[in-house]
Structure 1
Amino acid sequence: MPQNIVVGHRQLMAEAEAEVESIDAADAVAVLGQPNVAIIDIRDPREIEREGRIPGSFHAPRGMLEFWVDPESPYHKPIFAEKKKFIIHCASGWRSLLATQVLQRMGLKPVVNLKGGFAAWKEAGGPVEKVEKK
Structure 2
Amino acid sequence: MKHNPGFLALVESVLPQVTEVTVEQYQEAMQAWTLLDVREDSEWQNGHLPRAQHLGRGIIERDIETLFADKKTPLVLYCGGGYRSALAAYNLQVMGYSKVVSLTGGYKAWLERQLPIEHD
Fold agreement, TM-score > 0.5: yes
In structure 1, how many angstroms separate the alpha carbons of the residues matched to 2:35 and 2:42?
18
Equivalent residue for 2:38? 42
Q: State the TM-score, normalized to the length of structure 2.
A: 0.86
What is the one-letter code of the residue matched to 2:20? Answer: S
In structure 1, how many angstroms separate the alpha carbons of the residues matched to 2:69 and 2:112?
28
In structure 2, how many angstroms separate the alpha carbons of the residues matched to 1:53 and 1:113?
15
Q: State the TM-score, normalized to the length of structure 1.
A: 0.78
In structure 2, how many angstroms separate the alpha carbons of the residues matched to 1:22 and 1:102?
14
In structure 1, how many angstroms separate the alpha carbons of the residues matched to 2:72 and 2:57?
21
Equivalent residue for 1:24? 22
In structure 2, how many angstroms separate the alpha carbons of the residues matched to 1:99 and 1:19?
12
Cα-Cα RMSD: 1.8
Task: Answer with 1 or 2: which has the greater Rg.
Answer: 1
Query: Is residue 62 from structure 1 mapped to residue 51 from structure 2 by the alignment?
Result: no
Structure 2 unaligned regions, length at least 5: none
What is the one-letter code of the residue matched to 1:26? Answer: E
1:129 Cα deviation from its structure 2 partner: 1.2
In structure 2, how many angstroms separate the alpha carbons of the residues matched to 1:29 and 1:93?
16
Equivalent residue for 2:85? 96
Identical aligned residues as a percent: 29
2:102 partner SS = strand
**Kept in 1: contact 2:44–2:54 (CA 8 A):** no
Equivalent residue for 1:73? none
Aligned residues between the structures: 116
